[in-house]
Structure 1
Amino acid sequence: MRLGLLTACLPGEPLEEIARWAGAHGYAALEVAAWPRRPGRDWEAGHLNVEDFGPAEAERVNALLDRHGLSMSAVAYYENNLHQDPEVRAATHAHLRRCVDAAQLLGVGLVGTFVGRDVTLTTAENLRLAERVLPPLAEYAAARGVRLVIENCPMEGWHPDGYPANLAYSPELWGWMAELGLWLNYDPSHLVWLGIDPIAAIEAHAERILHVQAKDVEVHPDARNRYGVFGQVLDRRPWESGWWRYRVPGHGEVDWPRLIDALRGNGYDGVVSVEHEDPVWSGDPGRVRQGLAIAQAVLAPHIRT
Structure 2
Amino acid sequence: MRTIKGPGIFLAQFAGDAAPFNTLESIARWAAGLGFIGVQIPTWDGRLFDLAKAAASKSYCEDIQGMLAELGIAVTELSTHLQGQLVATHPAYDLVFDAFAPPAQQRDPVARQQWAVEQLLLAARASRNFGLTAHATFSGALAWPYFYPWPPRPPGLIETAFKELARRWRPILDAFDAAGVDLCFEIHPGEDLHDGVTFEMFLEQVDNHPRCNMLYDPSHLLLQNIDYLGYIDVYHERIKAFHVKDAEFNVSARQGVYGGYQSWPARAGRFRSLGDGQIDFGGIFSRLTRHDYAGWAVLEWECAIKDAVVGATEGAPFIQRHLIKVAERSFDDFADSKVDRSLIDSVLGLSSHA
Shorter-chain TM-score range: 0.7 to 0.9
Question: Does 2:130 correspond to 1:124?
Answer: no
Write the distance in 2 (CA, Å) between the matches of 1:135 and 1:101: 16
Counterpart of 1:104 in structure 2: which amino acid? R
Shift of 1:36: 5.0
Secondary structure class of the residue paired with 1:32: strand
Identity of aligned residues (%): 22
For residues 159 and 45 of structure 2, the distance between their equivalents in structure 1, rounded to whole angstroms, comes to 31
Partner of 2:171: 136
Q: Which of 168, 172, 179 in structure 1 is aligned with 2:193?
A: 168
Map Cα deviations across residues 160-193 of structure 1 (whole Å, 9 max, x no partner).
xxxxx31221111233344433111100000001
CA–CA separation in structure 2 for the residues paired with 1:241 and 1:279: 9
* 2:239 maps to 1:209: yes
In 2: Cα distance, 1:86 partner to 1:36 partner:
23
**Partner residue, 1:48:** 49
2:8 pairs with 4, 8, 11, which one? Answer: 4
| CA distance 1:24–1:228, change in 2 (3 Å) | closer
CA distance in 2, matches of 1:6, 1:197: 25
For 1:20-78, what per-residue CA distance to the aligned partner results, in whole angstroms no more than 9, with x for missing partners?
Answer: 122232222111111155xxxxxxxx522113331231111110221122221110110
Question: Which whole-Å deviations, capped at 9, do the CAs of 1:202-231 have from their partners, x for residues lacking one?
Answer: 000100011110111122212xx3123222
Alignment coverage as a number of residue pairs: 277
2:139–2:191 contact (8 Å) kept in structure 1? yes
Selected match of 1:187 from 217, 225, 231: 217
Unpaired runs of 5+ in structure 1?
38-45, 155-164, 283-287
Report the Cα distance in structure 2 between the residues aligned to 1:87 and 1:247, rounded to whole angstroms.
Answer: 37
Q: 1:5 to 1:36 in 2, by over 3 A?
A: closer
Distance across 2 between alignment mates of 1:259 and 1:185:
14
Deviation of 1:101 (Å): 1.6
1:78-137: CA deviation from partner (whole Å, max 9, x where unpaired): 031212432222111111111222111111122211111125775333212112111110
Range moving further from structure 2, 113-122 or 65-74? 113-122
1:78 partnered with 2:81: yes
Change (3 A) 1:124 1:242: farther
Residue 158 of structure 1 aligns with which residue?
none
CA deviations 1:243-295 (Å, max 9, x no partner) are 2211121111101111111111111132010001113234xxxxx22211212
Distance in 1 separating the partners of 2:191 and 2:265: 17
Going from structure 1 to structure 2, the CA distance change for 1:130 and 1:238 (only over 3 Å counts) comes to farther
User: 1:177 and 1:110 mapped to 2: Cα distance?
Assistant: 19
Aligned mates of 2:312, 2:319 — CA distance in 1:
10
2:40 to 26, 31, 48: 31
CA distance in 2, matches of 1:146, 1:83: 25
Shift of 1:8: 0.5
TM-score where L is the length of structure 2: 0.73
Q: Call closer, same or farther: CA 1:60–1:71 in 2, change over 3 Å.
A: same
Asked whether the equivalents of residues 230 and 241 of structure 1 are also in contact (C-alpha less than 8 Å), the reply is no
Tell me if structure 1 keeps the 8 A contact 2:264–2:304.
no
- Residue 226 of structure 1 corresponds to 254
Contact 1:177 1:183 in 2 (8 A): no
CA RMSD of aligned residues (A): 2.0
Cα distance 1:226–1:120, how it changes in 2: closer, same or farther (>3 A)?
closer
> Residues 240 and 96 (structure 1 numbering): CA distance in 2 closer, same or farther, change over 3 Å?
farther
